[in-house]
Amino acid sequence: MLAKREIRANFDYFLEQKAKRLEHLAKYMARFSIALRLERDALPALDGWLYRYGGHLIPGGGEAVSALADYEPAWDGAFRGLNIVNDISTFAGDYVVSRNPNVRWDVWYGDGSKYDYEEKGFGQPCLFGLPCSGYESHHSMLWEIFSCCNAGYWRLIQGGSPIGIWGKPGDLLRRLDHLMSQSDR
């Protein structure tokens, strides 16, 4: 487990690299005729792409959750798609932040419970200040977008659509709207 200073250093690195990562993501998405902009009318194209291709970003074998939480194994080879998951989550988080001045990026150090390091988002960039009920502490957009892609993975493996918030096209828009449910969209 990383020390608080190491977690802070990783978060500072995230902030330093964020613009560059989003620039690379925009170039990648342009190959699919998707123009990334922090505007709601630009989101349906990304939503459709995630629904169709998000499952291909998740490696099989059950190690994806460990890789996402601990960055082990490294996000290369079969795990390289997690970089895109991470970048899309950063974009989605920036979209939420751009819509509500009370929401900000910060790092979550846990809540002081014995096993808080096992909680989603521990030591990672998260959104704070979300207006919707149930998100008063922090919210990990990385785990949110991973869940979307993981649902796509299971659609590929099992066919059909899983039941849940990531089962239909348009769920990214619905989810982002929910996260801003009490803000000035």
Of 57 and 108, the one with more pLDDT: 57
Q: Is 37 left (phi over 0), alpha (psi -120 to 50) or beta?
A: beta
Which residue carries 């995630």 as its tokens? 50
89-135 confidence digits (pLDDT tens): 999 999 999 998 889 999 987 676 666 666 676 778 999 998 876 66
pTM (2 decimals)?
Answer: 0.89
pLDDT number for residue 184:
46
Extract the runs of DSSP E, i.e. beta strands, from the chain.
104-107, 125-128
* DSSP labels, 41-55: GGHHHHHHHHHHHGG
Phi, psi of 150 (to 5 degrees): -65, -40
DSSP label of 185: -
pLDDT in tens, 133-174: 666 678 899 989 998 998 888 888 887 766 677 778 899 999
How far is C-alpha 47 from the geometric centre of its chain's CA atoms? 13
Please give the average per-residue pLDDT across 176-185, as a whole number: 69
Q: What is the pLDDT of residue 185?
A: 43
Q: Please give the distance of CA 172 from its chain centroid, rounded to a whole number.
A: 11
Average pLDDT over residues 173-177: 90
Best CA proximity match to 168, nearest among 185, 182, 152, 181: 152
Is residue 6 predicted with pLDDT exceeding 80? Answer: yes
Can you read off the two tokens belonging to residue 144? Answer: 């949110």
Predicted local distance difference test score (pLDDT) of residue 89: 96
| Phi, psi (rounded to 5 degrees) for 18 | -55, -50
